[in-house]
Protein backbone atom coordinates (compact mmCIF):
# COMPACT_ATOMS: atom_id res chain seq x y z
CA UNK A 1 0.00 0.00 0.00
CA UNK A 2 2.98 2.36 0.17
CA UNK A 3 3.12 2.23 -3.61
CA UNK A 4 0.92 4.74 -5.40
CA UNK A 5 1.40 3.93 -9.06
CA UNK A 6 1.75 0.18 -8.96
CA UNK A 7 5.00 -1.71 -8.60
CA UNK A 8 7.25 -4.33 -10.15
CA UNK A 9 8.42 -7.54 -8.54
CA UNK A 10 11.87 -6.07 -7.92
CA UNK A 11 10.30 -2.99 -6.31
CA UNK A 12 8.25 -5.20 -3.98
CA UNK A 13 11.40 -7.11 -3.05
CA UNK A 14 13.29 -3.92 -2.27
CA UNK A 15 10.57 -2.23 -0.25
CA UNK A 16 9.03 -5.19 1.59
CA UNK A 17 12.28 -6.45 3.07
CA UNK A 18 11.35 -10.06 2.30
CA UNK A 19 13.52 -12.47 0.32
CA UNK A 20 12.80 -12.71 -3.42
CA UNK A 21 11.25 -16.22 -3.36
CA UNK A 22 8.96 -15.23 -0.50
CA UNK A 23 7.82 -12.07 -2.31
CA UNK A 24 7.07 -14.01 -5.47
CA UNK A 25 5.09 -16.61 -3.50
CA UNK A 26 3.08 -13.97 -1.64
CA UNK A 27 2.34 -11.98 -4.81
CA UNK A 28 1.25 -15.11 -6.65
CA UNK A 29 -1.23 -15.96 -3.90
CA UNK A 30 -2.57 -12.39 -3.84
CA UNK A 31 -2.98 -12.33 -7.62
CA UNK A 32 -4.75 -15.71 -7.54
CA UNK A 33 -7.21 -14.27 -5.03
CA UNK A 34 -7.70 -11.06 -7.10
CA UNK A 35 -6.38 -8.95 -4.22
CA UNK A 36 -3.49 -7.76 -6.37
CA UNK A 37 -3.91 -7.03 -10.07
CA UNK A 38 -1.16 -7.95 -12.54
CA UNK A 39 -0.69 -5.88 -15.70
CA UNK A 40 1.51 -5.99 -18.77
CA UNK A 41 5.01 -4.60 -18.65
CA UNK A 42 5.88 -1.05 -19.70
CA UNK A 43 8.10 -1.17 -22.77
CA UNK A 44 10.66 -3.89 -22.17
CA UNK A 45 10.30 -3.68 -18.40
CA UNK A 46 8.97 -6.10 -15.83
CA UNK A 47 5.25 -6.78 -15.32
CA UNK A 48 3.57 -4.39 -12.88
CA UNK A 49 1.20 -5.07 -10.02
CA UNK A 50 -1.37 -2.90 -8.29
CA UNK A 51 -4.18 -2.81 -5.78
CA UNK A 52 -7.77 -1.75 -6.20
CA UNK A 53 -8.39 1.54 -4.38
CA UNK A 54 -10.58 -0.01 -1.69
CA UNK A 55 -8.01 -2.71 -0.91
CA UNK A 56 -5.16 -0.21 -0.90
CA UNK A 57 -7.06 2.02 1.53
CA UNK A 58 -7.72 -0.95 3.80
CA UNK A 59 -4.09 -2.07 3.65
CA UNK A 60 -2.88 1.48 4.31
CA UNK A 61 -5.08 1.74 7.39
CA UNK A 62 -3.68 -1.55 8.69
CA UNK A 63 -0.16 -0.40 7.95
CA UNK A 64 -0.62 2.91 9.76
CA UNK A 65 -1.93 0.99 12.79
CA UNK A 66 1.24 -1.09 12.89
CA UNK A 67 4.79 0.02 13.73
CA UNK A 68 6.11 -0.69 10.23
CA UNK A 69 4.92 2.35 8.27
CA UNK A 70 8.04 4.44 8.86
CA UNK A 71 10.42 1.66 7.83
CA UNK A 72 8.46 0.85 4.68
CA UNK A 73 8.30 4.47 3.58
CA UNK A 74 12.03 4.77 4.20
CA UNK A 75 12.63 1.81 1.92
CA UNK A 76 10.30 3.33 -0.70
CA UNK A 77 12.46 6.47 -0.69
CA UNK A 78 15.57 4.29 -1.05
CA UNK A 79 13.96 2.46 -3.97
CA UNK A 80 12.99 5.70 -5.73
CA UNK A 81 16.49 7.06 -5.15
CA UNK A 82 18.01 3.96 -6.74
CA UNK A 83 15.68 4.20 -9.76
CA UNK A 84 16.49 7.90 -10.17
CA UNK A 85 20.21 7.18 -10.01
CA UNK A 86 19.91 4.51 -12.70
CA UNK A 87 17.76 6.84 -14.81
CA UNK A 88 20.42 9.56 -14.68
CA UNK A 89 22.75 7.10 -16.40
CA UNK A 90 20.19 5.56 -18.77
CA UNK A 91 18.36 8.66 -20.01
CA UNK A 92 21.29 10.12 -22.00
CA UNK A 93 21.80 6.82 -23.84
CA UNK A 94 20.09 4.71 -26.51
CA UNK A 95 17.50 3.37 -24.01
CA UNK A 96 16.11 6.86 -23.38
CA UNK A 97 12.59 6.06 -24.59
CA UNK A 98 12.34 2.95 -22.40
CA UNK A 99 13.54 4.93 -19.38
CA UNK A 100 10.98 7.66 -19.97
CA UNK A 101 8.24 5.01 -20.09
CA UNK A 102 9.52 3.42 -16.88
CA UNK A 103 9.62 6.75 -15.05
CA UNK A 104 6.14 7.60 -16.32
CA UNK A 105 4.89 4.34 -14.81
CA UNK A 106 6.68 5.03 -11.51
CA UNK A 107 5.92 8.75 -11.23
CA UNK A 108 3.22 8.31 -8.58
CA UNK A 109 5.77 6.43 -6.46
CA UNK A 110 8.35 9.16 -7.08
CA UNK A 111 5.79 11.75 -5.94
CA UNK A 112 4.98 9.70 -2.83
CA UNK A 113 8.64 9.32 -1.86
CA UNK A 114 9.53 12.99 -2.44
CA UNK A 115 6.50 14.40 -0.64
CA UNK A 116 7.06 12.00 2.28
CA UNK A 117 10.62 13.22 2.71
CA UNK A 118 9.69 16.88 2.37
CA UNK A 119 6.80 16.53 4.84
CA UNK A 120 9.29 15.12 7.32
CA UNK A 121 11.73 17.99 6.67
CA UNK A 122 14.41 15.77 5.15
CA UNK A 123 16.09 16.99 1.98
CA UNK A 124 19.30 15.05 1.36
CA UNK A 125 17.78 12.18 -0.61
CA UNK A 126 15.26 14.52 -2.27
CA UNK A 127 18.09 16.68 -3.64
CA UNK A 128 19.65 13.63 -5.27
CA UNK A 129 16.36 12.56 -6.82
CA UNK A 130 15.68 16.07 -8.13
CA UNK A 131 19.13 16.25 -9.67
CA UNK A 132 19.02 12.76 -11.16
CA UNK A 133 15.57 13.22 -12.73
CA UNK A 134 16.29 16.57 -14.38
CA UNK A 135 16.06 15.18 -17.92
CA UNK A 136 12.80 13.39 -17.11
CA UNK A 137 11.18 16.52 -15.71
CA UNK A 138 12.05 18.69 -18.71
CA UNK A 139 10.70 16.01 -21.07
CA UNK A 140 7.31 16.05 -19.34
CA UNK A 141 5.59 19.44 -19.48
CA UNK A 142 2.65 18.29 -17.38
CA UNK A 143 4.76 17.59 -14.28
CA UNK A 144 7.04 20.64 -14.49
CA UNK A 145 4.99 22.75 -12.00
CA UNK A 146 5.07 19.97 -9.41
CA UNK A 147 8.79 19.37 -9.85
CA UNK A 148 9.46 23.10 -9.51
CA UNK A 149 7.52 23.20 -6.25
CA UNK A 150 9.63 20.35 -4.88
CA UNK A 151 12.80 22.25 -5.71
CA UNK A 152 11.44 25.40 -4.07
CA UNK A 153 10.54 23.57 -0.86
CA UNK A 154 13.83 21.66 -0.64
CA UNK A 155 16.11 24.54 -1.59
CA UNK A 156 14.43 27.60 -0.08
CA UNK A 157 11.93 26.56 2.58
CA UNK A 158 14.01 23.76 4.13
CA UNK A 159 17.33 25.60 3.71
CA UNK A 160 19.35 22.74 2.27
CA UNK A 161 23.02 22.76 3.20
CA UNK A 162 25.58 23.50 0.44
CA UNK A 163 26.57 20.32 -1.40
CA UNK A 164 27.06 19.04 -4.91
CA UNK A 165 23.58 17.47 -4.66
CA UNK A 166 22.17 20.89 -3.89
CA UNK A 167 23.95 22.20 -7.00
CA UNK A 168 22.27 19.47 -9.07
CA UNK A 169 18.83 20.26 -7.62
CA UNK A 170 19.37 23.98 -8.25
CA UNK A 171 20.22 23.13 -11.85
CA UNK A 172 16.98 21.18 -12.18
CA UNK A 173 14.99 24.07 -10.74
CA UNK A 174 16.77 26.52 -13.00
CA UNK A 175 16.13 24.60 -16.21
CA UNK A 176 12.47 24.11 -15.24
CA UNK A 177 12.09 27.83 -14.61
CA UNK A 178 13.80 28.58 -17.94
CA UNK A 179 11.48 26.15 -19.73
CA UNK A 180 8.40 28.16 -18.72
CA UNK A 181 10.01 31.55 -19.36
CA UNK A 182 10.75 32.55 -15.74
CA UNK A 183 14.19 33.86 -16.65
CA UNK A 184 14.85 35.80 -13.44
CA UNK A 185 14.26 32.73 -11.28
CA UNK A 186 16.21 30.56 -13.73
CA UNK A 187 19.18 32.92 -13.57
CA UNK A 188 19.07 32.98 -9.76
CA UNK A 189 19.00 29.21 -9.40
CA UNK A 190 21.55 28.48 -12.11
CA UNK A 191 23.88 31.16 -10.77
CA UNK A 192 23.86 29.49 -7.34
CA UNK A 193 24.36 26.12 -9.02
CA UNK A 194 27.44 27.33 -10.90
CA UNK A 195 28.93 28.82 -7.72
CA UNK A 196 28.55 25.49 -5.92
CA UNK A 197 29.82 23.58 -8.95
CA UNK A 198 33.00 25.65 -9.07
CA UNK A 199 33.46 25.34 -5.31
CA UNK A 200 32.47 21.72 -4.64
CA UNK A 201 32.00 19.94 -7.94
CA UNK A 202 34.01 18.74 -10.87
CA UNK A 203 34.03 19.19 -14.65
CA UNK A 204 30.62 17.55 -15.13
CA UNK A 205 28.88 19.98 -12.81
CA UNK A 206 30.66 23.01 -14.30
CA UNK A 207 29.76 21.85 -17.81
CA UNK A 208 26.10 21.51 -16.89
CA UNK A 209 25.86 24.88 -15.14
CA UNK A 210 27.62 26.88 -17.87
CA UNK A 211 25.36 25.38 -20.51
CA UNK A 212 22.18 26.15 -18.60
CA UNK A 213 23.24 29.73 -17.86
CA UNK A 214 24.19 30.20 -21.49
CA UNK A 215 20.71 29.22 -22.65
CA UNK A 216 19.22 31.82 -20.33
CA UNK A 217 21.60 34.42 -21.76
CA UNK A 218 20.48 33.51 -25.30
CA UNK A 219 16.83 34.06 -24.40
CA UNK A 220 17.78 37.44 -22.93
CA UNK A 221 19.63 38.42 -26.08
CA UNK A 222 23.03 38.54 -24.33
CA UNK A 223 24.88 36.53 -26.95
CA UNK A 224 28.32 37.64 -25.81
CA UNK A 225 27.77 36.20 -22.35
CA UNK A 226 26.23 33.08 -23.89
CA UNK A 227 29.26 32.50 -26.14
CA UNK A 228 31.61 32.87 -23.18
CA UNK A 229 29.67 30.33 -21.12
CA UNK A 230 29.18 27.91 -24.02
CA UNK A 231 32.84 28.07 -25.00
CA UNK A 232 33.86 27.22 -21.44
CA UNK A 233 31.42 24.31 -21.48
CA UNK A 234 32.76 23.02 -24.81
CA UNK A 235 36.33 23.12 -23.51
CA UNK A 236 35.30 21.17 -20.40
CA UNK A 237 33.39 18.61 -22.50
CA UNK A 238 36.29 18.02 -24.87
CA UNK A 239 38.61 17.43 -21.91
CA UNK A 240 36.27 14.68 -20.69
CA UNK A 241 35.40 11.31 -22.17
CA UNK A 242 31.65 11.78 -22.71
CA UNK A 243 30.85 12.40 -26.39
CA UNK A 244 27.25 13.25 -25.47
CA UNK A 245 28.45 16.27 -23.51
CA UNK A 246 30.48 17.42 -26.51
CA UNK A 247 27.39 17.17 -28.71
CA UNK A 248 25.32 19.21 -26.25
CA UNK A 249 28.09 21.83 -26.03
CA UNK A 250 28.31 22.14 -29.83
CA UNK A 251 24.54 22.59 -30.09
CA UNK A 252 24.58 25.15 -27.29
CA UNK A 253 27.31 27.15 -29.02
CA UNK A 254 25.27 27.14 -32.23
CA UNK A 255 22.56 29.15 -30.45
CA UNK A 256 25.00 32.04 -30.00
CA UNK A 257 26.94 31.72 -33.28
CA UNK A 258 26.42 33.68 -36.54
CA UNK A 259 24.25 31.82 -39.01
CA UNK A 260 26.91 30.69 -41.54
CA UNK A 261 28.72 28.72 -38.83
CA UNK A 262 25.64 27.30 -37.13
CA UNK A 263 24.99 24.44 -39.54
CA UNK A 264 28.45 22.93 -39.12
CA UNK A 265 28.12 22.94 -35.33
CA UNK A 266 24.64 21.41 -35.44
CA UNK A 267 25.60 18.72 -37.96
CA UNK A 268 28.63 17.77 -35.84
CA UNK A 269 26.36 17.47 -32.80
CA UNK A 270 23.79 15.46 -34.77
CA UNK A 271 26.51 13.05 -35.92
CA UNK A 272 27.55 12.40 -32.31
CA UNK A 273 23.96 11.95 -31.12
CA UNK A 274 23.33 9.41 -33.88
CA UNK A 275 26.47 7.51 -32.91
CA UNK A 276 25.40 7.37 -29.26
CA UNK A 277 21.71 6.74 -30.01
CA UNK A 278 20.55 9.82 -28.09
CA UNK A 279 16.96 10.25 -29.32
CA UNK A 280 16.30 13.61 -27.68
CA UNK A 281 19.55 14.98 -29.10
CA UNK A 282 18.67 13.76 -32.60
CA UNK A 283 15.21 15.35 -32.39
CA UNK A 284 16.53 18.68 -31.10
CA UNK A 285 19.25 18.84 -33.76
CA UNK A 286 16.63 18.08 -36.41
CA UNK A 287 14.55 20.97 -35.09
CA UNK A 288 17.51 23.36 -35.13
CA UNK A 289 18.39 22.34 -38.71
CA UNK A 290 14.75 22.80 -39.71
CA UNK A 291 14.67 26.41 -38.53
CA UNK A 292 18.04 27.05 -40.16
CA UNK A 293 16.89 25.71 -43.53
CA UNK A 294 13.64 27.62 -43.30
CA UNK A 295 15.50 30.87 -42.65
CA UNK A 296 17.67 30.15 -45.71
CA UNK A 297 14.58 29.66 -47.86
CA UNK A 298 15.10 25.91 -48.37
CA UNK A 299 11.49 24.91 -47.78
CA UNK A 300 11.84 21.27 -48.84
CA UNK A 301 14.72 20.57 -46.46
CA UNK A 302 13.04 22.56 -43.73
CA UNK A 303 9.86 20.53 -44.05
CA UNK A 304 11.76 17.22 -43.86
CA UNK A 305 13.73 18.27 -40.78
CA UNK A 306 10.56 19.55 -39.05
CA UNK A 307 8.85 16.23 -39.78
CA UNK A 308 11.81 14.29 -38.41
CA UNK A 309 11.81 16.44 -35.26
CA UNK A 310 8.06 16.14 -34.75
CA UNK A 311 8.17 12.36 -35.12
CA UNK A 312 11.10 12.10 -32.75
CA UNK A 313 9.43 14.21 -30.07
CA UNK A 314 6.19 12.30 -30.52
CA UNK A 315 8.06 9.06 -29.86
CA UNK A 316 9.49 10.64 -26.71
CA UNK A 317 6.08 12.07 -25.65
CA UNK A 318 7.57 15.58 -25.46
CA UNK A 319 4.53 17.71 -26.16
CA UNK A 320 6.13 21.14 -25.89
CA UNK A 321 8.77 20.34 -28.50
CA UNK A 322 6.10 18.80 -30.73
CA UNK A 323 4.26 22.14 -30.68
CA UNK A 324 7.37 23.93 -31.91
CA UNK A 325 7.94 21.41 -34.72
CA UNK A 326 4.28 21.62 -35.79
CA UNK A 327 4.46 25.43 -35.83
CA UNK A 328 7.53 25.13 -38.04
CA UNK A 329 5.60 22.87 -40.41
CA UNK A 330 2.84 25.50 -40.49
CA UNK A 331 5.42 28.17 -41.42
CA UNK A 332 6.68 26.00 -44.27
CA UNK A 333 3.16 25.37 -45.53
CA UNK A 334 2.31 29.08 -45.45
CA UNK A 335 5.41 29.95 -47.42
CA UNK A 336 4.55 27.23 -49.95
CA UNK A 337 1.05 28.69 -50.37
CA UNK A 338 -0.72 25.72 -48.75
CA UNK A 339 -3.04 27.19 -46.08
CA UNK A 340 -4.92 23.92 -45.61
CA UNK A 341 -1.74 22.09 -44.56
CA UNK A 342 -0.79 25.03 -42.36
CA UNK A 343 -4.20 24.99 -40.69
CA UNK A 344 -3.89 21.25 -39.99
CA UNK A 345 -0.49 21.70 -38.35
CA UNK A 346 -1.69 24.66 -36.28
CA UNK A 347 -4.75 22.71 -35.11
CA UNK A 348 -2.52 19.87 -33.88
CA UNK A 349 -0.22 22.38 -32.17
CA UNK A 350 -3.18 24.09 -30.46
CA UNK A 351 -4.52 20.77 -29.19
CA UNK A 352 -1.17 19.92 -27.61
CA UNK A 353 -0.55 23.42 -26.24
CA UNK A 354 -3.89 23.38 -24.43
CA UNK A 355 -2.55 20.67 -22.10
CA UNK A 356 0.92 22.13 -21.48
CA UNK A 357 1.94 24.40 -18.62
CA UNK A 358 4.37 26.29 -20.86
CA UNK A 359 3.13 29.68 -22.08
CA UNK A 360 5.58 29.65 -24.99
CA UNK A 361 3.69 26.75 -26.58
CA UNK A 362 0.42 28.65 -26.56
CA UNK A 363 2.12 31.80 -27.84
CA UNK A 364 3.64 29.91 -30.78
CA UNK A 365 0.31 28.36 -31.71
CA UNK A 366 -1.50 31.71 -31.38
CA UNK A 367 1.05 33.34 -33.65
CA UNK A 368 0.57 30.74 -36.40
CA UNK A 369 -3.21 30.88 -36.10
CA UNK A 370 -2.98 34.65 -36.61
CA UNK A 371 -0.73 34.28 -39.65
CA UNK A 372 -3.35 32.13 -41.37
CA UNK A 373 -5.40 35.33 -41.71
CA UNK A 374 -2.61 37.39 -43.31
CA UNK A 375 -3.79 37.11 -46.93
CA UNK A 376 -7.57 37.39 -46.52
CA UNK A 377 -7.79 39.54 -43.39
CA UNK A 378 -4.56 41.46 -42.72
CA UNK A 379 -6.20 43.79 -40.20
CA UNK A 380 -7.55 40.83 -38.23
CA UNK A 381 -4.17 39.15 -38.56
CA UNK A 382 -2.42 42.17 -37.04
CA UNK A 383 -4.88 42.24 -34.15
CA UNK A 384 -4.45 38.50 -33.50
CA UNK A 385 -0.66 38.87 -33.64
CA UNK A 386 -0.91 41.56 -30.99
CA UNK A 387 -2.77 39.09 -28.75
CA UNK A 388 -0.06 36.52 -29.42
CA UNK A 389 2.53 39.18 -28.57
CA UNK A 390 0.86 39.63 -25.17
CA UNK A 391 1.21 35.87 -24.65
CA UNK A 392 4.90 36.06 -25.57
CA UNK A 393 5.32 38.92 -23.13
CA UNK A 394 3.80 36.86 -20.34
CA UNK A 395 6.06 33.92 -21.22
CA UNK A 396 9.19 35.97 -20.56
CA UNK A 397 10.80 34.62 -23.75
CA UNK A 398 12.13 37.76 -25.41
CA UNK A 399 13.26 35.97 -28.57
CA UNK A 400 9.67 34.91 -29.24
CA UNK A 401 8.40 38.42 -28.59
CA UNK A 402 11.02 39.85 -30.95
CA UNK A 403 9.94 37.45 -33.70
CA UNK A 404 6.31 38.38 -33.09
CA UNK A 405 7.10 42.11 -33.40
CA UNK A 406 8.86 41.44 -36.70
CA UNK A 407 5.81 39.60 -38.02
CA UNK A 408 3.54 42.44 -36.94
CA UNK A 409 5.77 44.91 -38.77
CA UNK A 410 5.47 42.89 -42.00
CA UNK A 411 1.69 42.72 -41.73
CA UNK A 412 1.54 46.44 -40.98
CA UNK A 413 3.48 47.02 -44.22
CA UNK A 414 0.95 44.82 -46.02
CA UNK A 415 -1.71 47.22 -44.83
Which residues fall within 8 angstroms of residue 64, CB to CB, at 6 or more apart? Answer: none
pLDDT in the model for residue 307:
98
pLDDT in the model for residue 86:
95
What angle (nearest 5°) sits at the alpha carbon of residue 163, between those of residues 160 and 167? Answer: 85
List pLDDT tens digits, range 294-318. 999 999 999 999 999 999 999 998 9
- Top mean pLDDT of 91-95, 154-158, 166-170 is at 166-170
Confidence of residue 283 (pLDDT cuts 50, 70, 90): very high
Which residues fall within 8 angstroms of residue 151, CB to CB, at 6 or more apart? Answer: 130, 169, 170, 172, 173, 176, 189
What angle (nearest 5°) sits at the alpha carbon of residue 359, between those of residues 129 and 182? Answer: 55
pLDDT in the model for residue 52:
87
Return left, alpha or beta for 221; rule: phi > 0 is left, psi -120 to 50 is alpha, else beta.
left
Other C-beta atoms lying within 10 Å of the C-beta of residue 30:
16
Sign of CA dihedral 21, 24, 28, 34: positive
pLDDT (average), residues 344-348: 97
pLDDT (average), residues 187-200: 93
Higher pLDDT, 201 or 61: 61
Cβ 350 vs Cβ 368: under 8 Å: no
pLDDT in the model for residue 179:
82
List pLDDT tens digits, range 44-95. 567 889 988 889 899 989 998 988 889 999 999 999 999 999 999 999 888 8
Average pLDDT, the chain: 91
Cβ 271 vs Cβ 312: under 8 Å: no
Residue 341: burial class (beta carbons within 10 Å; 0-12, 13-18, 19+): middle
List pLDDT tens digits, range 203-240. 888 999 999 999 999 988 899 999 999 999 999 999 98
> What is the residue-wise DSSP string for 251-299?
HHHHHTS-HHHHHHHHHHHHHHHHHHT-HHHHHHHHHHHHHHHHHTT-H
Residue 302, φ and ψ in degrees, nearest 5: -60, -45
pLDDT (average), residues 16-29: 90
Out of 102-106, 188-192, 193-197, 360-364, least confident range: 360-364
pLDDT in the model for residue 183:
87
> What is the residue-wise DSSP string for 138-166?
HT-GGGHHHHHHHHHIIIIIS-PPSSHHH
pLDDT in the model for residue 44:
55
Confidence of residue 7 (pLDDT cuts 50, 70, 90): very high
pLDDT at 142 over 90: no
pLDDT at 259 over 90: no
pLDDT at 43 over 60: no
pLDDT in the model for residue 397:
73
173: helix, coil or strand?
A: helix
| Total-model pTM | 0.81
pLDDT in the model for residue 127:
96
pLDDT at 276 over 80: yes
pLDDT in the model for residue 93:
82
Confidence of residue 360 (pLDDT cuts 50, 70, 90): confident
Amino acid sequence: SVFRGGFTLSAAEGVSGFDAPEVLDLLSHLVDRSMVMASRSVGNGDPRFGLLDTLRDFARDRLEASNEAEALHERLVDYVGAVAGEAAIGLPGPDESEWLDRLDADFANIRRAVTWELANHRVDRVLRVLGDLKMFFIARDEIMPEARSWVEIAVDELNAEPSIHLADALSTGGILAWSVGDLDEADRLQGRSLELARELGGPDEVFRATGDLGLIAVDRGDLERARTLFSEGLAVARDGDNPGDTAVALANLAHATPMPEQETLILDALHIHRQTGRLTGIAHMSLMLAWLNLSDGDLDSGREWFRAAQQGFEQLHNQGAQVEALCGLADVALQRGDPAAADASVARAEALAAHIDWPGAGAMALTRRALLRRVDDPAGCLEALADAGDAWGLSGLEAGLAENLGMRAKVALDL
